Each structure stands twice: as C-alpha cells, then as structure tokens.
Structure 1
Amino acid sequence: MAYRTNVRIGNWNEDLRLQEDVKKEHMEKKEKGELVAQKVDFLKQNILRPVNLTVTNDGRLHFGDVVILVNIGGENRKCSAVSINADITSLTKIPLAGIQAPCGISAGRGIQACTRTAFIITSVDGSPEGSTLNFEQSFALKTTSGFARGLFLTSDLRSFQKCAKKSRLQEVNLDEGGSFPSWWKIVHFDPQERLEYEGQPVPANVKVLIIHCKTNQALAVLDDQVLWTTYGKEYEVTAHTFLNCHKVEQENNHWILCTSDPAGNGLLLLNQLQSAANDEEVTQTYSGI
C-alpha cells in the first residue's frame, strides 16, 4: 500500500486535541486577566498612577505629609527615588487588588510622584497630624492606602537568613504594622550641625539623613548593586551608614524628602535643580564672552 505526503501518521489525533486544549486554556486565562502580560499591565497601571504630593506653605515637614524620598546621586549614580519594587508575584486580590507584604523596595530613576514612590510621614509617638516633624523625632514612612496597602518602610538587624539580596547588607522592605522596626528619625547631614538642630523643625526639600531607630543605620542607595526590575534598571536600597575617611556620611546616605511646587509645576526639588542648572549655563555663557 502506497503512502502519500498528506497521509496522517502517528498520534495525530492526540496532538490535535492537545493543541486545542492549549488554545482553550490560553483563552480562559485571557478572559480572566491571568496572562503574564495582562498582569504586568495591570500592575503598572495601578502602581504608576499619579499621586498628589503635599504642598508645604511654611517650608517644613509635617505628620501626614505625602512626600517622595530622593537621592540626588553621585559620580557613578544618577538621581533616584525610593520605590516599591513589586512584580506580578507581589499581587493579591484579597480582599481587594493590591500588593502584599512583605514587598521589596529599590531606588528607581523615574522621579515622578506616583503610588510607587509616594510615602506618608506617619506619627508613632502620638503627635497629631499636621504638627511639625522635628530632627531626631521618631516617625514612620507609610505607602498610600488602596493598591499600595499602607505598608511601612521596615528594617531589622542583619542575619544570614534576612539581608539585602545583592550586597548582603541590612535589608529594607515594606511590611504591615507600625512596630519599632519601622521607626526612623531624621538628622542633619552635617555632623557638626546636629546638636544645634536637634529638636528643631525639619525643612522640606533639603538634604538630610534618615536613620533607622532600632539599628542606628542610615538609609542608603548603592551605586554598585544594580537590580533588574519590572520597571527597568534600578539600585538596591539598604540600611547602612557609609562613612568617608573623615567619618562623615557619604552621598549614598543623603536624602531629600520632596514636596510639590506650590505653583503646581511638579516637584519643587526638580524645579530648583533645573533653575540652578540654567543659572550655571547662563554664567558659563557670559564668562565665555
């Protein structure tokens, strides 16, 4: 008996049924929004949603203010902001759609006020909302409610089981509750000025150190530890005090708690930097005449 090229051989019927089952499963997942691409789109749509930062009229930080934490950068590191490092495995639908704790953080180079970067200055000592935050006063940093679930920026003593993934330094992440491991304080970035500023109001949009109360380590961004995240190439964030030869904290530990421009033109810090850059450019232009 002669066989032609169009004659089906082998387990062709089983293969056909298997292909149909795969297509059916794909369509069911698509209808439920369970495809990986759909989950990534859903995550980004929610976590990159714009958030209104606080506009401070007196130039100070207050309990209840919504800010973003920005590190200006250094020689080998660009400007970055503390950001929720959630991926599709961080998503939960119980009781409502959002991220689940614990959740990692990173320093993203997208300096925009959104759910991913916004933090609320929260009282831990009974200070009323709207009162001024002072240097050396304990407080907490909490994500916004809703999709970000109101999680607290938290750290604890480093151990073999619990440490930063890349650097193996003290880990910082987001977790539930406002217990002692989620308490922080702000100190003046210049060691010679700290005693003078202790107990004084903390100004917004200026360089400061953010110290973890339990371990006394400073919040830090690492320029030599790169994370590949859902949002691109970012830096690892830890709690570790980096000192130079003069025992002064380095730029890795310098943070600015940024508020919104009263004129409604985005971040006050970025406008100040742009203005300074423009002034420098004008100075260089006239100097060259």
Structure 2
Amino acid sequence: MSVRTYNPSVRVGNWNEDIQLEEDTLKDFLQKRESGELLYQKRTKLEQTIFKKIDLSISRDGLVHFGDKVNIRCPAALDRTQYFAHKDPRNECNLAVVPQINKILYSNKFEGPCSVTGCREVAANLRSTFVIKSPDGIPDGEPLRYGQVFYLCTMDDEGGNLYLHSDRVSLHKSPNKSRHQEVSLVCEPSFLTEWKILHIKPKLRMEYEGIPVPANCKIIFHHVKTGQNLSVEEEFCIRTSFGTREYEISSHTYLDSHRADMEQNHWQIVMGVPGDEVYPVTFPSSGTASTTTGTS
C-alpha cells in the first residue's frame, strides 16, 4: 500500500525561519514607528523644523538693522549662452545651512559646525534665514552701516546660535571642489566670524563708508580677517543630504578686467516691505474718525 509523501497541509522548506523573519520585520517596523525613525516621519519632522516657513523682518524705512531676520540672496547671473553655448545661466540662490540630519532630528536645532550652500529654493525658511548681530553691543533696531563689523547668525529661538565663519585655505580645510576659502557655521564668535558690507562699486566705497545699508539692493559681503568676499561657485554643484543639488559657497573675490567684483560676489540682504502678502497693509474702516477718505 502506497503512502502519500505530500499533501496541501505539509510545510516544506525553511518555513519556520520564514515565519520568524516576518515577525521580526513587523516588530522592527512597529519599533521604528514608535520612535519616529520611519522615513516619512523623518521627512515630516524636517518639514516642521528646518523647512518651516519664516516671516522675514519688515524694512519700513528701506534700511537693514541689527536684529533683523533676513535672507542672503545672490541674484541670478546673466544669460551667457550666446557666448558659451555649453553653459547655462546660474539661478538665484539663498545662503542656506546644511545640517547633519541625525543631529537635527533629535535636537530640533542646528549644531555646529555646519556647512553652507547656495540653495535654489528662495522661499524663506529656517535654514535660509539669518539674524544680523553686533559684536560691540549695539542694540537691535540700529541701522547697519557700510564698513561696520557684524555677525551673521542663525536664529536663536528655533535654529540654535551659529556664526558664519571663514578662514584661510589650508591643506586640510578647503571646499571639496573649488579649493577656495571655506565658509561654514561655528558655535563661538571670534575675529574669524566678523563680516562687513561694502558698496558694489569700488570707486564709491570710501564715500559710502558709514552710510546705512539699504535692504534688497546689491552689496558685497566682505570677510574682515582674510579680505575675501563671499561668493557663489556657479561652476560647482554639490548634492546635499536632502537630495538636492546646490551651489558651493566660498570666500573668494572674483574681479573683472576693471577690478570690479563679478556676479559671483553680488548679494542682497532680502527683507520684507510694507504691503507684502505676509504683512498685508490694513486700512481703517470708513465708519471711524481716522479714515483718510473724508474731507475736512
């Protein structure tokens, strides 16, 4: 009499190991979900921290002041395709922080040292918003002037307190691609974190010394210690930990044949102005005595 060696209820192969692997996978998933380590949870947390929208300070007199929340923007370069067929024009970009993702997910703030890049996303968020501070104890609200030393810092309340830093090129410290002077963010202020604003035209710099800096106008960011200017390396793009391609930032003075700074060194201190969508202008109602539509 023959005996059936196989029927649908028989389990073959490493069935016990497969069951254990499925259970371990499920347990690992539940543990990561409870601790917030899943990829979609990390993405959501990043959007709620460093990509959170920030309202810039309003420049009601058209000037930049100490304590203002600003964006540091490099305008778009001119279209040079008629001269260089292989070269695309550079987009406008904001100076932005590139933190270590693991650190910011646990601390919810920037921890130095951090690198900086030229982010093509020009919307104001935590990683692209900076605060202008005085090293001499000048109170907030005082206008920043040409040639006046200042610190460019990340935001205190939400993003930590890091200072824009630069130092001379060394064998072990330089940007990976351009090999120019490195720019980064550090925890402690020093003479290497001191910057000042210069007029965009070299012939007018002495005349504008001590005059308040206007907002949303082209200026030059000058590093006091090394004498180099903040620049965008439009020839070199780097891939960040967020998966985006952004311009490399360095301190290097690009001069043309007339000894004037080139487009890579042109920056704007971007601020809000009255009437922006963030701060809409409100008018008094027609029924009050303060309306401007009435006649005397």
Q: TM-score, normalised by structure 1?
A: 0.85
1:248 pairs with one of 254, 257, 260: 260
Structure 2 distance, partners of 1:86, 1:249, is 30
Kindly report which structure 2 residues correspond to 1:15-164, keeping only aligned pairs within 5 A, or say none. 15-74=18-77, 75=79, 76-94=89-107, 97-164=108-175
Q: Distance in 2 between matches of 1:219 and 1:55?
A: 25
Contact in 2 for aligned 1:101/1:151 (Cα 8 Å): yes
Q: What amino acid is the match of 2:18?
A: D
The secondary structure found in structure 1 opposite 2:207 is helix
One-letter code of the match for 1:198? Answer: E
Query: How far apart in 1 are the matches of 2:255 and 2:190?
Result: 28
- For 2:33 and 2:256, the matched residues in 1 are separated by 54
Instruction: Give the match for residue 293 of structure 2.
Output: none
TM-score where L is the length of structure 2: 0.83
Aligned to 1:179: 190
Q: Runs ≥4 in structure 1, deviation > 6 angstroms?
A: none
Q: State the Cα distance separating 1:5 from its structure 2 match.
A: 8.0
Q: Following the alignment from structure 2 to structure 1, what is the Cα–Cα distance between the partners of residues 9 and 249?
A: 61
Residue identity opposite 1:91 in structure 2: I
Which of 192, 204, 209 pairs up with 1:198?
209
User: Does residue 262 of the first structure (1) align with residue 265 of the second (2)?
Assistant: no
Deviation at 1:99, TM superposition (A): 2.7
- The answer to whether the 8 Å contact 1:98/1:146 transfers is no
Moved more, 10-19 or 102-111: 10-19
Amino acid in structure 1 at the alignment position of 2:166: S
Paired position in structure 2 for 1:270: none
**Cα contact 1:92–1:99 (8 A) shared by 2:** no
Partner of 1:14: 17
* Distance change in 2, residues 1:4/1:241 (3 Å): farther
Between Structure 1 and Structure 2, whose CA radius of gyration is higher?
2
**Alpha-carbon distance between aligned partners in 1 of 2:158 and 2:57, rounded to the nearest angstrom:** 19
- Matched residue type, 1:49: K
RMSD over equivalenced CA pairs, Å:
2.1
Code of the residue aligned with 1:124 in structure 2: it is P
Shift of residue 144 of structure 1?
1.1
Name whichever structure is richer in helix by fraction: 1
Change (3 A) 1:167 1:60: same
1:239 pairs with 2:258: no
Query: Counterparts of 1:266 and 1:209 in 2: how far apart (Å)?
Result: 28
Q: Residue 47 of structure 1 contacts residue 147 of structure 1 at CA under 8 Å; is this kept in 2?
A: no
CA change 1:208–1:21 in 2 (3 A) is same
Code of the aligned partner of 1:68? N
Q: In 1, Cα distance between the equivalents of 2:156 and 2:231?
A: 25
**Could you list the runs of 5+ residues in structure 1 that have no partner in the other structure?**
268-289
For structure 1, which segment, 150-159 or 114-123, has the greater mean C-alpha deviation from structure 2 after superposition?
150-159
Shift of 1:87: 4.9
The separation in 2 between residues aligned to 1:36 and 1:180, in whole angstroms, is: 40
Aligned mates of 1:4, 1:108 — CA distance in 2: 63
Give the match for residue 279 of structure 1.
none
1:222 aligns with 2:250: no
Residues 40 and 88 in structure 1, CA contact (< 8 A), matched pair in contact too? no
Contact 1:92 1:100 in 2 (8 A): no
- Change in Cα spacing, 1:12 to 1:71, as seen in structure 2 (3 Å) is same
Check whether the contact 1:135–1:199 (CA below 8 A) recurs between aligned residues: yes
Alpha-carbon offset, residue 239 of structure 1: 1.1
Whole-angstrom CA distance in 1 between matches of 2:252 and 2:116: 15
Match of 2:181 in 1: 170
Structure 2: unaligned runs, 5 residues or longer: 80-88, 280-296
Q: Aligned residue for 2:294?
A: none
